[in-house]
């Protein structure tokens, strides 16, 4: 197998956030094709708004095998032998009002297509802004 060069793209330029999920669409219309790659790394830079020290940014990742039907990634918790699945939301809490905070999360590739969406939960103060970078990595 030929090693593929990692693919790095900014999928969302720094822009104001809303309280509804917005597709990070600066990369192929929002669809991330992962053919030949084994891992996806999502990097988020978040600047909370003034007075927004309790605000959070949330990232939702969905996947598809056919680029038509998308399903949200899940998280698992096991108690008493029961595996319970819940929708996975990646959350970054503001460290202080007006602060710049960063998050990096690696996701193993298990489907051919992905979408990344982002929103902010505003507990107080002004809304913030964020950028999102994506790196696709292949096997060594």
Tokens (6 digits) for 97: 């009002």
Name the residue among 97, 92, 94, 96 with its Cα closest to residue 132: 92
Spell out the CATH class of 7-137: mainly beta
Whether residue 2 is predicted with pLDDT greater than 70 in this model: the reply is no
Name the residue among 117, 112, 111, 67 with its Cα closest to residue 87: 117
Please provide the average confidence, as pLDDT, over all residues in the chain: 90
pLDDT range class, residue 105, cuts 50, 70, 90: very high
Secondary-structure percent of the chain, ordered helix, strand, coil, rounded to 5: 0, 55, 45
The pLDDT value recorded for residue 7 is 87
The pLDDT value recorded for residue 127 is 86
Q: Report the alpha-carbon distance of residue 40 to residue 135 in Å, rounded.
A: 6
The reported pTM is 0.89
pLDDT tens string 9-51:
999 999 999 999 999 987 777 999 998 899 999 999 999 988 7
Name the residue among 53, 69, 54 with its Cα closest to residue 115: 69
pLDDT tens string 44-57:
999 998 877 788 99
pLDDT range class, residue 84, cuts 50, 70, 90: very high
Name the residue among 128, 132, 131 with its Cα closest to residue 48: 128
Produce one character per residue of 76-107: b if its CB has 16 or more CB atoms within 10 Å, e if not. Answer: eeeeeeeeeeeeeebebebeebbeebebeeeb
Mean pLDDT across the stretch 57-71? 95
């Amino acid at each position: 197998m030929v090693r593929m060069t990692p693919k790095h793209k900014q999928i969302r330029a720094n822009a104001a956030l809303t309280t509804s999920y917005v597709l990070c669409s600066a990369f192929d219309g929002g669809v991330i094709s992962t053919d030949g790659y084994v891992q996806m790394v999502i990097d988020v830079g978040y600047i909370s708004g003034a007075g927004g020290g309790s605000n959070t940014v949330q990232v939702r990742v969905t996947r598809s095998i056919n680029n038509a039907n998308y399903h949200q990634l899940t998280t698992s918790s096991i108690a008493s032998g029961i595996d319970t699945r819940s929708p996975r939301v990646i959350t970054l809490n503001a460290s202080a009002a007006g602060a710049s905070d960063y998050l990096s999360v690696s996701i193993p590739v298990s489907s051919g297509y992905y979408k990344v969406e982002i929103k902010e939960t505003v507990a107080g103060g002004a809304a913030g802004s964020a950028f999102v970078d994506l790196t696709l990595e292949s096997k060594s």
